[in-house]
Amino acid sequence: MKTDKTCWELIAPVLLLACVSGCSEQPKADRDQPTITATAQQQLDKVQSVATEVEQAAKTTMKTVEAELANGAAKVDELAQHVEANVTETVARVEDAAASPKLDGKALALSKGCIACHKATSDGLIGPGWGGLAGSERSFVDGTTAIADDAYLRAAITNPNAQIVEGFVPSMPAMPLTDAEVEALVEYINTLK
Ligand code: HEC
């Protein structure tokens, strides 16, 4: 009995040790992992450096694309503003034209009765002929002279008796005319050579 016990006492720690070392043994996979060789390490380094380069290139490209996009957006903005200005201007012009249709000086001379006293030629009637009037020198009964520019023609129409053209009697009536009508008449007289 004594011997058996001694024998068991001898075996037990061995078994225990075996068990403990068996349990604490590393998993098989870890144990079998291949060690990285120098060549493999070199290749890995290369791959990593290439990856860094690619990343850098991608970043640069992104920056370029972003800059181009911003530039393009600015250009589109500019264009849009230009188009908007053009549209606004065109609308304003159309509204203007609609508000004050272009007056026809020739038609006005007829409708306002000017042609009862004025001819479109240089021949005088009750008043002086309009042909060649624009730009010519006028002589007045008071001895003064003036060049028949737009301002003179305007004044002659709106304030007829302020200056009486030599050779004529003050018989032209001051007629109610709008500024636009006066302008149209002046424009028409300017066309008569
Ligand atoms: C009843 C006749 C009569 C009518 C109508 C008449 N005029 Fe006259 N006009 C004259 C006479 C006369 C003169 C020259 C005397 C003077 O200077 O007032 C004259 C002068 C002028 C002159 C200056 C001519 C020059 O040789 O320097 C102009 C311009 C003119 N008339 C424009 C018009 C216009 C435009 C109308 C129509 C809206 C008009 N007249 C209607 C009689 C008339």
In tens, the pLDDT along 58-113 reads 999 999 999 999 999 999 999 999 989 888 888 887 777 677 678 999 999 999 99
Task: For residue 27, name the pLDDT band (cuts at 50, 70, 90).
Answer: low
Query: Is 105 touching ligand 1 by the criterion CB < 6 Å?
Result: no
CA–centroid distance, 147 to ligand 1, in Å, is 16
Fold of 105-191: Cytochrome Bc1 Complex; Chain D, domain 2 (1.10.760)
∠ CA 177-182-188, nearest 5°, is 135
Distances (CA, A) of 133 to 41, 111, 118, 119, 186: 103, 21, 11, 11, 11
∠ CA 173-175-178, nearest 5°, is 155
For ligand 1, atom 17, which residue shows the shortest CA distance? 164
Could you state, in order of their start, the residue ranges of all structural domains in the chain? 46-99, 105-191
DSSP state of 115: G
Overall pTM surpassing 0.85 (yes/no): no
**pLDDT tens for each residue of 107-132:** 999 999 999 999 999 999 999 999 99
Residue type (1 letter), 176: P
